[in-house]
Amino acid sequence: MVTRALLTDTPLIVLPGFDADSVEQTGRSGRATHVSVVATALQRLDPSVFTRVLVGGSRPPDTVAPNVVVTYGMTETGSGVLYDGFPLDDVEVALAGSDPGSGGEILLRAPMLMRCYRGGDTGRVVGPDGTATWFATGDGGSFGADGELQVSGRMSDVINTGAEKVWPEAVERVLLTHPGVADAAVWRRPDPEWGERVVAWVVPADITPSLQELRDLVANAVAPWAAPKELVLVDQVPRTLSGKVRRHELPPA
């Protein structure tokens, strides 16, 4: 965003950290008309105070306000290359390891891709057209009926429980709708019966939720096998500065 502001000579406000009240105030005061946030931050904001809101950094909510634009990109692509599921000019998208109509790893080919990582690795892989010119993102996704790319999340975060795949971010979004959940993270632990089990780390609000309440909520909204089998209450969820969950830093029970 800083680079784009410099290139387009657009005034830019950079806040020292995320605070919902401070971000909203920049919109209400007219100092800023557009804002770029991650999905976690979007859930804590009133998007109507801005003309346009860009949301990215992780899997977005299933539904967003009309003025919210869902972006997809990464450091290796110099920020967003897909907007509301459709690529910019000269950006190509494919899926690896998938059958038609099902999901797979998102592959990208575009002129704005990095040349290589330090050390020379280009990150390129052989794509569905047989050429080794595609960049493997490590993200999973699928195409909708209209060709829109739907991002599921990081493939390394997928929980395989009883031969079913669970995307943590989908479960986290549901948990955050519970009035007793101030923040939440979902990941896996080994399970002797299911291979892996879904575990929820929750920062309780005024009323501490029970495991059964959260299981029922997720089972109805996502699927029965996505319901957490274990609940860990914590004081905070470890996150990056951009709001992504640091799953490997989630504390033990």
Given pLDDT bands bounded at 50, 70 and 90, which one contains residue 153?
A: confident
- Give alpha helix (H) positions in the chain: 2-8, 20-28, 39-42, 168-175, 211-221
Of the chain, the percentage scoring pLDDT greater than 70 comes to 97
CB 107 within 8 A of CB 125: yes
| Burial class of residue 15 (count of CB atoms within 10 Å of its CB; 0-12, 13-18, 19+) | exposed
In the structure encoding, which two tokens stand for residue 133, read together?
Answer: 């010119």
Given pLDDT bands bounded at 50, 70 and 90, which one contains residue 98?
A: low
Q: What share of the chain is helix, strand, coil (3-state, %, to 5)?
A: 20, 35, 45
Total number of residues shown for the chain? 253
Given pLDDT bands bounded at 50, 70 and 90, which one contains residue 32?
A: very high
CA dihedral 154, 156, 162, 163 (to 10 degrees): 80
Global pTM value: 0.79
Q: Give buried/exposed letters for 107-145 (b at 16+ CB in 10 A, else e).
A: bbbbeebeeeeeeeeeebeebeeeeeebbbbebbbbbee
pLDDT score recorded for residue 99: 55
Taking alpha carbons only, the member of 135, 182, 134, 185 closest to residue 159 is 185
Report domain extents, the chain.
Answer: 1-66, 88-155, 158-249
Taking alpha carbons only, the member of 81, 78, 166 closest to residue 70 is 81
Given pLDDT bands bounded at 50, 70 and 90, which one contains residue 40?
A: confident
Given pLDDT bands bounded at 50, 70 and 90, which one contains residue 101?
A: low
Is 158-249 assigned to CATH 3.30.360.10?
Answer: no
Could you give the angle at which helices 168-175 and 211-221 cross, rounded to 10 degrees? 120
Residue 118 has pLDDT above 90, yes or no: yes
pLDDT tens across 168-224, in order? 989 998 999 999 999 999 999 999 999 999 999 999 998 899 999 999 999 999 999
> Going along the chain, which residue ranges are E strands?
34-38, 52-56, 68-74, 79-83, 86-87, 92-96, 104-109, 124-125, 134-143, 149-154, 159-161, 164-166, 181-191, 195-204, 230-233
Q: What is the mean pLDDT of residues 239-251?
A: 85
More confident residue, 18 or 110: 110
Q: What is the mean pLDDT of residues 45-72?
A: 89
The rounded mean pLDDT for the chain is: 91
In the structure encoding, which two tokens stand for residue 43, read together?
Answer: 């859930």
88-155 CATH, one of 3.40.50.970, 2.30.38.10, 3.40.50.720, 2.30.110.10: 2.30.38.10
Residue 116 has pLDDT above 90, yes or no: yes
